[in-house]
Amino acid sequence: MNKPFVSVIMPAYNCEKYIKEAIDSILNQTYYNLELLIADDYSKDRTKKIIASCQDERIKIFHNEKNLGYLQTFNKLIAHAKGDYITFQNAYDYSDPSRIYLLLEEFEKDKELCICGSNYISIDEKDNQLEFSNFPLEHSEIFESMPQKYQFIGPALMIRRQVYESIGGYHTFFDRMGQEDHYWAYLAMSIFKTKNIHHHLYSCRINSACFSDNLYSNPDKLNSHKIVEILVNQRKNTGTDFLERGNDSELRSILNELNKPFTDNPSYFYSYIAKLRFCEGKKKLALKNMWFAILKTFKWSYYKNKF
């Protein structure tokens, strides 16, 4: 009996410190019959050179000639996937060597299963283990918890090919915004049977410089979770949503209203970021942003009173 072929999707941007570890964690899987599709998204560091140094016939290269962002790069890669199963690997994380084998084992046990995830370990920039997830295992609890909770981690999921053929890639409304995987997962899980397994097979890095989320120039990122919440609740109540109906402009108007406190008052924006950074444990960045908030407060008040 032929072993299923697995495609692993890995967009990469400015992750020179971690990309080799991420690649090796896939190439060193106990399950060998796979392809690793990688695209460097026009990085400014040595990411592309490090990818080139990894010689393995299973690596397929689709580098970008300009920066497209994570979503477009992901959609480009998954369109090239040839696997019976498709899974994902962020370029700053790494996988347990048995991850693919154990996930495939679940699909072999249950022919109706189409989406399977695992628990994960959050790690810091020095690979110190910070927290172990404890996701529910059964479909009903995973699906019904959204959008209040997302009881899975996107890159740790594996899907049968038919899920991608049915749902497609990420919706471009979320381009450079984030949360595209949560919206995509809700669409997929509303159709296909899902489960998690209790093993902690994916290590997810937090507080990493590889995250290219420039919040200062893109406040959409701060409210993307609210947009997904609106869409999921719409689907729960009506069976459809703004994006399915093609009302992208109406959804954009809602997002612009949500962004107003940040765009109208720069001091509020920086104080909000400071709170986020403090909660993440980034005390230096928190203090830096509080200082920006103070400066912006004086500047904003000056011009407001003047005009």
What is the predicted pLDDT for the residue at 201? Answer: 98
Q: Which of 226, 228, 258 is nearest to 241 (CA)?
A: 228
Q: Which of 100, 101, 12 is nearest to 54 (CA)?
A: 12
Q: Please count the residues of the chain.
A: 307
**What three-state secondary structure class fits 218?**
coil
3-state SS string for 66-130: CCCCHHHHHHHHHHHCCCCEEEECCCCCEECCCHHHHHHHHHHHCCCEEEEEEEEEEECCCCCEE
> How far is the CA of 123 from the CAs of 4, 28, 133, in angstroms?
31, 20, 12
pTM, entire model = 0.87
Give CA angle at 249 (248, 251), nearest 5°: 65
What is the predicted pLDDT for the residue at 62? Answer: 98
**What three-state secondary structure class fits 60?**
strand
What is the predicted pLDDT for the residue at 125? Answer: 87
Whole-angstrom distance, CA of residue 258 vs CA of residue 83: 40
Estimate the crossing angle of helix 266-279 against helix 248-264, to 10 degrees: 90
Buried b (16+ CB within 10 A) or exposed e, 70-93: bbbbbbbbbeebebbbbbbbbbbb
What is the predicted pLDDT for the residue at 63? Answer: 98
Provide the residue-wise pLDDT of the chain in tens; the chain has 307 residues.
Answer: 589 999 999 999 999 999 999 999 999 999 999 999 999 999 999 999 999 999 999 999 999 999 999 999 999 999 999 999 999 999 999 999 999 999 999 999 999 999 999 999 999 888 899 999 999 999 999 999 999 999 999 999 999 999 999 999 999 999 999 999 999 999 999 999 999 999 999 999 985 444 434 555 677 888 999 999 999 999 999 999 999 999 999 999 999 999 887 777 666 666 766 766 666 566 776 777 676 667 656 554 544 444 4
What is the predicted pLDDT for the residue at 186? Answer: 98
| E runs forming strands in the chain | 6-12, 34-40, 59-61, 85-88, 94-95, 113-123, 129-132, 158-160, 193-205
Whole-angstrom distance, CA of residue 219 vs CA of residue 237: 28
Q: Are 14 and 47 in contact (CB under 8 A)?
A: yes
Whole-angstrom distance, CA of residue 247 vs CA of residue 255: 13
What is the predicted pLDDT for the residue at 185? Answer: 98
Whole-angstrom distance, CA of residue 111 vs CA of residue 104: 11
Whole-angstrom distance, CA of residue 296 vs CA of residue 265: 8
Q: 70 Cβ partners below 8 Å, 6+ apart?
A: 11, 13, 41, 176, 212
Kind of pairing between the strands at 6-12 and 34-40: parallel
First to last CA, the chain: 77
What is the predicted pLDDT for the residue at 222? Answer: 84
Q: 8 Cβ partners below 8 Å, 6+ apart?
A: 26, 34, 35, 36, 37, 86, 87, 88, 89, 100
